[in-house]
């Protein structure tokens, strides 16, 4: 079979996975903006064409890349404690600062309540707890965005993070049970993919657009990425294969096989695009990974822009929101995420220093 092997394209500098993550984060912002502006989360025209908004397609991209990169991280790390630390440092600090800034900077500036009433309101504390615990992305803040077309929605983007964490935990559990050492992780992932694909044959079993439906799509994408990494020395990706998968997606659209085939096509396109370099753009996104910050700040930025300029047109709204989200993503990366990620090497460095002193 013609095409490129994934092996040799896993490390930074050999791929454009960071660029794809940034593109996916920007796509989520653009997709959400249609809903923020109109009050209809399905106003994104991509939803009418494909059955999924551009934002949902972008989240599928995130989970494919996450499955690939997180599996690589687990395989390369010495133990599950280091793996858990790395995952916590990747998600936790950026989320914490975003939630604190939203609660104690943005909220007081835009709430219709007096400051004392806002800070003492039960919903303020509840927002902190629910958002940081990833219970929901729909927790309100008192008097914030109350008159918006999508009223009271503070940061809807956060709703996918709990599924990401669940995938991390399931992968760690598989490793703890010895699936990596024994080589059983490959058949486990393949079996999981087949079970999830088969679930679409009985549409009455899982209602579309429910948490269970979201979970199976995200787990399917994550598993595709994980399996791709494990089979990196054998599986090939290329545009001929991608075109065939996309044609199959079109042919099966609307059928019970449509969604799983579409997700497989998504994974093939992601890995085919990701195993290439795009000059200075790839180099820049390797150095500055803005994707997470753009993702978590995009929704509150959009709501704020619309609050300040309610008569703004679609194109200026998209440009302003995306530009501000990129700036906040840069600030998040430089001030929060990158310093936090540097702590991943601290225990190993500390142990090495102790051995050298001894």
Closest by Cα among 10, 7, 12, 9 to 341: 12
Distance of CA 164 to the CA centre of its chain: 7
Specify the pLDDT at position 348. 56
Assign 357 a pLDDT band (cuts: 50, 70, 90). very low
Q: How large is the average pLDDT for residues 103-121?
A: 97
Q: Which long-range contacts (CB under 8 A, 24 or more apart) does 276-280 make?
A: 276/15, 276/16, 277/14, 277/15, 277/16, 278/16, 278/19
Residue 2's pLDDT is what? 52
Q: Would 294 be classed as within a structural domain?
A: yes
Cα separation, 218 vs 224, in Å, equals 10
Does residue 183 lie within any of the structural domains? yes
Question: Pairing state of beta strands 236-237 and 4-5?
Answer: antiparallel
| Mean predicted confidence (pLDDT) in 76-102 | 93
pLDDT for the residue numbered 78: 65
237 beta partners: 4
Considering the domain boundaries, does residue 357 fall inside one? no
Q: Is residue 337 part of a domain?
A: yes
Residues 72 and 12: their CA atoms lie apart, in Å, by: 12
Share of the chain above pLDDT 90, in %: 82
φ and ψ at residue 75, rounded to 5 degrees: -60, -40
HSE-up of residue 47 (Cα within 13 Å, Cβ side): 15
Give counts: helices (H), strands (E), the chain.
Answer: 18, 2
The confidence score (pLDDT) of residue 351 equals 52
Band (pLDDT 50/70/90 cuts) for residue 37 is very high
DSSP run (H or E) holding 204:
none
* Domain span holding position 186: 4-351
| Under 8 Å between Cβ of 78 and 280 | no
b/e sequence 239-249, b meaning 16+ C-beta within 10 Å: eebbeebbebb
* Structural domain total, the chain: 1
Predicted confidence (pLDDT) per residue in 11-34, tens digit: 778 899 999 999 999 999 999 999
How far is Cα 124 from Cα 304, in angstroms, rounded to an integer? Answer: 18
Give me the phi and psi of 4, to 5 degrees please.
Answer: -100, 150
Measured from the Cβ of residue 161, the count of other Cβ atoms closer than 10 Å reads 17
4, β-bridge pairs: 237
The rounded distance, in Å, linking the Cα atoms of 327 and 75 is 34
pLDDT mean over 103-116: 97
| Residue 301 falls inside a structural domain | yes
**Closest by alpha carbon to 61, among 357, 323, 254, 272?**
272
At 47, is the pLDDT very low, low, confident or very high (cuts 50, 70, 90)? very high
> Is the predicted pLDDT of residue 154 greater than 50, yes or no?
yes
282 falls within a domain = yes
Q: How would residue 83 be classed by pLDDT, with cut points 50, 70 and 90?
A: very high
What confidence tens digit (pLDDT) does each residue in 236-287 have? 788 899 999 999 999 999 899 999 999 999 999 999 999 899 999 999 999 9
> Could you tell me how many residues make up the chain?
358
Between 203 and 296, the more confident residue is 296
| Residue 39 backbone class (left: φ over 0; alpha: ψ -120 to 50; beta: rest) | left
Q: What average pLDDT score do residues 83-98 get?
A: 95
Residue at 356 is within a domain: no
Residue 358 lies in a domain: no
CA distances to 70, 327, 333, 344 from 90, in Å: 11, 19, 11, 9
Quick one: CA torsion of 186, 189, 191, 195, rounded to 10 degrees? -170
More confident residue, 1 or 210: 210
Task: Return the bridge partners of 236, or none.
Answer: 5
Confidence category of residue 355, pLDDT binned at 50, 70, 90:
low
pLDDT of residue 237: 81
């Amino acid at each position: 079979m013609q095409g490129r092997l994934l092996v040799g394209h896993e490390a930074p500098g050999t791929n454009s996975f960071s660029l794809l993550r940034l593109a996916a984060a920007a796509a989520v912002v653009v997709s959400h903006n249609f809903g923020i502006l109109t009050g209809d989360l399905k106003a994104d025209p991509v939803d009418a064409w494909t059955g999924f908004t551009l934002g949902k397609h972008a989240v599928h991209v995130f989970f494919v890349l996450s499955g690939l990169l997180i599996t690589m991280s687990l395989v390369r790390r010495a133990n599950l404690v280091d793996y858990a630390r790395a995952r916590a440092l990747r998600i936790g600090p950026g989320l914490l600062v975003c939630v604190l800034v939203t609660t104690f900077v943005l909220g007081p500036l835009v709430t219709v309540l007096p400051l004392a009433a806002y800070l003492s309101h039960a919903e303020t504390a509840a927002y902190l707890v629910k958002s940081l615990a990833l219970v929901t992305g729909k927790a309100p803040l008192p008097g914030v965005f109350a008159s918006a077309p999508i009223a009271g929605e503070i940061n809807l983007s956060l709703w996918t993070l709990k599924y990401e964490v669940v995938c991390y935990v399931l992968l760690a559990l598989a490793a703890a049970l010895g699936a990596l050492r024994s080589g059983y992780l490959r058949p486990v992932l393949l079996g999981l993919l087949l079970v999830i694909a088969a679930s679409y044959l009985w549409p009455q079993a899982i209602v579309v657009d429910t948490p269970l439906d979201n979970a199976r799509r995200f787990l399917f994408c994550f598993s595709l990425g994980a399996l791709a990494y494990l089979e990196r020395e054998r599986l090939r990706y290329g545009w001929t294969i991608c075109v065939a998968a996309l044609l199959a997606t079109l042919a099966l659209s609307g059928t019970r096989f449509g969604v799983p085939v579409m997700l497989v096509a998504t994974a093939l396109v992601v890995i085919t695009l990701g195993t290439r370099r795009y000059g200075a753009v790839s180099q820049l996104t390797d150095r500055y990974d803005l994707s997470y910050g753009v993702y978590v700040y995009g929704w509150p930025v959009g709501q704020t822009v619309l609050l300040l300029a309610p008569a703004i047109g679609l194109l200026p709204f998209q440009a302003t929101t995306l530009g501000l989200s990129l700036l906040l993503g840069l600030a998040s990366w430089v001030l929060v995420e990158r310093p936090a990620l540097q702590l991943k090497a601290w225990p190993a460095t500390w142990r090495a220093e102790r051995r050298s002193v001894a």
